[in-house]
Amino acid sequence: MERINIGKETELIEFKKSTGELKAAVISIASILNKHGSGELYFGVKNNGDVIGQEISESTLRDISQAVSSHIKPTIYPEISIKTYGKLDVVYVKFEGNRAPYLAYNIPRIRVADEDKVMEQEIYEDMLQKRGDSAKDWELQTSEYTLDDIVLADLKSYLKKAKDAGRIEFDSQEPAVVMEKLNLLAKDGQHLLNAGAVLFCNSTMNDVQMAKFATDVKATFTDIRREDTGSIIGLSKICTQYIIDAMDWKADIVGLKRVETPEIPVEAVREAVINSYGHRLYNNNQCNEIDVFKDRIEIHTTGGFPQGHTPEEFFDGKKKAIRRNKRITGVLYYSKDMETFATGLKRIKDLCDEAGCKIDFRTEKDDFVVVFYRNLREEWNKNGEVVSSSLSSDHQKLPGDYQETTETLPGDYQETTETLPRDYQDTTKTNAEKIKEIMRENPTISTLSIAEIIGLSLDGVRYHIKKMKASGEIEREGGDFGGWWKVNG
């Protein structure tokens, strides 16, 4: 086999013969970050650059990722991929971070040529001081985003909420005027402060990763989604909807009314999501995270809980607020998305206690985690009650928020009255005819309700709807949220 060489090790590039050197690799990553803020590492390459290949199993990339995230603090999330040279595979790790000093296995090291040296105490303390200084007043630093980058739909919906709440009085919707009134405009009158950029622009600083797992541990993904850009206004809505879509709902038909109850109070979810953006640490190169497990749903806020405090201190609502991002939370206060009186955790806990949903607040070194347990679903299943894990898209709606529609709220926040068609159990009619009959009498009805009324599976209803849409017999107007059915034939 022809010899393949990919160059030499440098202060930015490290080679390891195999993942048998995983611990040493983790140490090298932290050392390079402390010196340069970014770098590359290869498994399956000799020190002289000769490619020898790395045996790669189903768990290889996951093991590397877990070792890096578990043993480097502050936590980083590298890009890990497979590269092929000739017929040999190697694992390629690309990493970056701007929160030096980084510790690997609780020891700070720094890159010197191609070696990893233990860092001197003076250098370590100096790096800690610089990290602390960079975190201060981050919100007030001028961003690269300008007035032209503002998402106008997000700004408009925010202003409507703030005015409805009676917390702002000016009438202008001009971005320049609004940004100046909210103290989000830089001195040049064109660029936004960082606070304004994350609130109203499709900013790369708001990234979030969302995933669903098959079990109670991070082993097998059933879905993974990453949003690399977006505004707080827009992404908080997307994150909340992701959780709503993943939750189970109990549906009861009481007389002519259908009452849906979510396993986790939607308002508690919304509160936890918006708080994760209001209180996250933005300049640490990390992202927020939403993890949906079989037994729980976790919302991770990067940056951790205020040092020296515990969540329990805030349960009675009497504790003074500790705000990491005063400008951001102040703006969200005007729209009633957040309060400035440290009552968020209390509201989340109270809502869950009232619904019977078990909740926990977990503090980690670099994350604060709100854990919603899915105990209600287990109780419903045990009692033989009707539970759906997939409500129709036209009925799963994010409550309130920034939507400018007349849509109604899901779950236990409302009761929707849907009149049952007179002949919905007529055996002489096809299922397609029954569906059209129901749609004529109630154009805003959800597919889940149609399934319950005619005794057909949800997939069965969706199958008929898809066929009738294709043939032009029915149309969906107004979109999934707040829309209605139009029957043509």
Domain boundaries, given as residue ranges, for the chain: 13-134, 419-487
Averages of pLDDT over runs of 10 residues in the chain (489 residues) are 90 95 97 94 96 94 94 92 95 91 94 91 86 72 95 94 90 94 94 96 92 91 90 94 90 73 92 93 86 95 84 79 86 87 83 93 89 88 62 43 35 35 54 87 79 75 87 80 75
In this predicted structure, what is the pLDDT of residue 256? 67
What fold characterizes domain 13-134? Answer: 3.30.950
pLDDT at 136: 60
Level-2 CATH architecture, domain 419-487: Orthogonal Bundle (1.10)
Q: Which of 162, 232, 221, 157 is nearest to 198 (CA)?
A: 232
Give me the pLDDT at residue 366, please. 82
**What pLDDT does residue 423 have?**
43
C-beta neighbour count of 166 within 10 angstroms: 9
Q: Is the pTM of the predicted complex or chain greater than 0.85? A: no
Per-residue model confidence (pLDDT) at position 429:
76
- pLDDT at residue number 479: 61
Query: Which pLDDT value is given to residue 458?
Result: 73
